[in-house]
C-alpha cells in the first residue's frame, strides 16, 4: 500500500522474545525463528529485545564475555541471509565484543545487505555498569525504503535529549530494544517506561517501537511492556498475550511537525533559551 503524499506503508513488528542467559546458540535459534516469523507476518521493520543474543542478568563480566560477539558473527550473516531480496529491516540487541576486549550493550540494524549500523548504549542501567563500557557515539539514523529509523536502547529513552537529537536528525521512528525490569506502578497507570516513550513520541512527532522481553531471568521479572506508539504519543498496539505487537504506519507522517496553525514541534524550540542559566530568586 502506498500513498504518493505520505510514502510507503510500513508494518512494524515487535517480537517480545525470552532469550536464555549466556546461551548464544539457543538465542541464535530464537532470533532466526523470530525473523522467519516476522517475514511471514509481513514485517517491514522488526524489532527484537536488547541483548537478544545473550540474555541480561549476567552473574559476572566473564559470563557476558563468554557470549560476546562482533558483527562478524554468523548470527548477523544468518539474519541477513533470511532478509535477502526483501526490504525488511531487523533491529536487535547483542552483547558486543569491542576493541581492546571491552564489552558493549549494542544494537545492530540488519538488512538483506548486511549490518547497516551498530549503536552502543550510552546510558547504562544499574549493574550493566559493572559489565559494559558505555558507548561514546551518538545513536544513528538509518535510511530505509519505509522511512528513517533512529536507534536507542532501553534507559537511553529516559533522557529526553536522546529522542530529541534523533528526531532533529530526521528520524521518523525510534526503534528501542529494551529489557525493562518489572517494578510496581500504580493501578490505572501505564508503566513508567511507556510514559517516557509516549512523551518522546508526542514531543517529537515520531513513532516509537519499544521491544521488551518476556518471562523472568534469574529471579528478575520483566515488564513485558512492548508497545508501538504513534506520532501523537498514543499506543497503537502492545504485545498482549501473543507476545507480538504489530502496527501498519506511514512513517512519512512524522515529517509534518505542524500541531496548530501557529505551531511546529521543532520550529517552536527556543534554542536561545535552553542554554541560559535560570535566574535564582
* Residues 102 to 131 in contact with its own copies, rule: CB under 8 A: 109, 116-117, 122-130
Residues 6+ apart with CB under 8 A from 237: 227, 228, 245, 246, 247
261 touches its own copies (CB under 8 A)? yes
Q: How far is the CB of 23 from its own copies (least distance, A)?
A: 26
Nearest Cα neighbor of 179 from 134, 129, 207, 221 is 221
Cell numbers linked to 235: 499506543
Distance, in Å, from the CA atom of 153 to the CA atom of 173, rounded to the nearest integer, reads: 14
**DSSP labels for 85-125?**
TS--EEEEEEEEE-GGG-EEEEEEEEETTEEEEEEE-SS--
Is the CB of 36 or the CB of 168 nearer to its own copies? Answer: 168
145 touches its own copies (CB under 8 A)? no
140 touches its own copies (CB under 8 A)? yes
Question: Are 160 and 166 contacting, i.e. CB atoms less than 8 angstroms apart?
Answer: no
Distance, in Å, from the CA atom of 96 to the CA atom of 67, rounded to the nearest integer, reads: 9
By DSSP bridging, strand 216-217 and strand 207-211 are: unpaired
* Residues 158 to 177 in contact with its own copies, rule: CB under 8 A: 158-162, 164-166, 169-171
CB atoms within 10 A of CB 48: 30
CB atoms within 10 A of CB 264: 13
250 touches its own copies (CB under 8 A)? no
Is the CB of 24 or the CB of 141 nearer to its own copies? Answer: 141
Q: How far is CA 263 from the centre of its chain?
A: 29
203 touches its own copies (CB under 8 A)? yes
Among 19, 150, 205, 243, binds its own copies (CB under 8 A): 150
Q: Which stretch binds its own copies (CB under 8 A): 31-39, 74-82, 213-221, 231-239?
A: 231-239
Q: Is 257 a catalytic residue?
A: no
Distance, in Å, from the CA atom of 108 to the CA atom of 73, rounded to the nearest integer, reads: 12
* Residues 61 to 90 in contact with its own copies, rule: CB under 8 A: none
Position of cell 536464555? Answer: 20
Q: How far is the CB of 229 from its own copies (least distance, A)?
A: 11
Is the CB of 38 or the CB of 150 nearer to its own copies? Answer: 150
279 touches its own copies (CB under 8 A)? yes
234 touches its own copies (CB under 8 A)? yes
Is the CB of 17 or the CB of 150 nearer to its own copies? Answer: 150
Is the CB of 48 or the CB of 166 nearer to its own copies? Answer: 166
272 touches its own copies (CB under 8 A)? yes
Residues 6+ apart with CB under 8 A from 85: 112
Nearest Cα neighbor of 3 from 248, 276, 265 is 248
Q: How far is the CB of 216 from its own copies (least distance, A)?
A: 19
278 touches its own copies (CB under 8 A)? yes
Binding region for its own copies (CB under 8 A): 109, 116-117, 122-130, 134, 136-143, 148, 150, 155, 158-162, 164-166, 169-171, 185-186, 189, 192, 195-196, 198-200, 202-203, 232-235, 260-263, 268-270, 272-274, 276-281
Catalytic sites, residue numbers: 50, 121, 154
Amino acid at each position: 500500500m502506498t500513498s504518493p503524499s505520505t510514502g510507503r506503508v510500513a508494518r512494524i513488528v515487535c517480537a517480545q522474545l525470552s532469550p536464555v542467559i549466556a546461551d548464544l546458540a539457543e538465542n541464535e535459534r530464537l532470533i532466526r525463528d523470530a525473523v522467519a516469523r516476522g517475514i511471514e507476518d509481513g514485517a517491514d521493520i522488526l524489532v527484537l529485545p536488547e541483548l537478544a543474543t545473550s540474555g541480561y542478568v549476567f552473574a559476572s563480566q566473564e559470563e557476558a564475555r563468554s557470549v560476546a560477539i562482533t558483527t562478524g558473527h554468523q548470527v548477523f550473516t544468518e539474519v541477513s541471509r533470511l532478509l535477502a531480496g526483501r526490504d525488511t529491516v531487523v533491529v536487535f540487541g547483542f552483547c558486543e565484543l569491542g576493541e581492546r576486549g571491552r564489552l558493549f550493550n549494542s544494537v545492530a540494524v540488519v538488512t538483506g545487505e548486511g549490518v547497516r549500523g551498530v549503536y552502543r548504549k550510552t546510558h547504562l542501567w544499574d549493574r550493566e555498569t559493572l559489565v559494559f563500557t558505555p558507548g561514546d557515539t551518538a545513536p544513528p539514523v538509518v535510511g530505509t525504503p519505509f522511512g528513517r529509523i533512529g536507534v536507542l536502547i532501553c534507559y537511553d529513552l529516559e533522557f529526553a535529549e536522546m529522542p530529541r537529537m534523533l528526531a532533529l536528525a530526521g528520524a521518523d521512528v525510534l526503534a528501542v530494544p529494551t529489557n525493562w525490569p518489572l517494578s510496581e506502578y500504580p493501578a490505572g497507570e501505564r508503566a513508567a517506561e511507556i510514559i517516557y516513550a509516549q512523551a518522546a513520541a508526542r514531543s517529537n512527532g515520531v513513532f516509537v517501537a519499544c521491544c521488551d522481553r518476556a518471562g523472568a531471568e534469574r529471579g528478575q521479572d520483566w515488564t513485558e511492556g512492548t508497545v508501538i506508539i504513534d506520532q501523537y504519543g498514543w499506543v497503537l498496539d502492545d504485545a498482549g498475550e501473543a507476545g507480538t505487537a504489530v502496527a501498519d504506519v506511514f512513517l512519512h507522517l512524522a515529517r509534518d511537525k505542524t500541531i496548530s496553525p501557529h505551531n511546529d514541534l521543532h520550529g517552536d524550540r527556543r534554542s536561545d533559551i535552553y542554554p541560559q542559566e535560570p535566574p535564582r530568586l
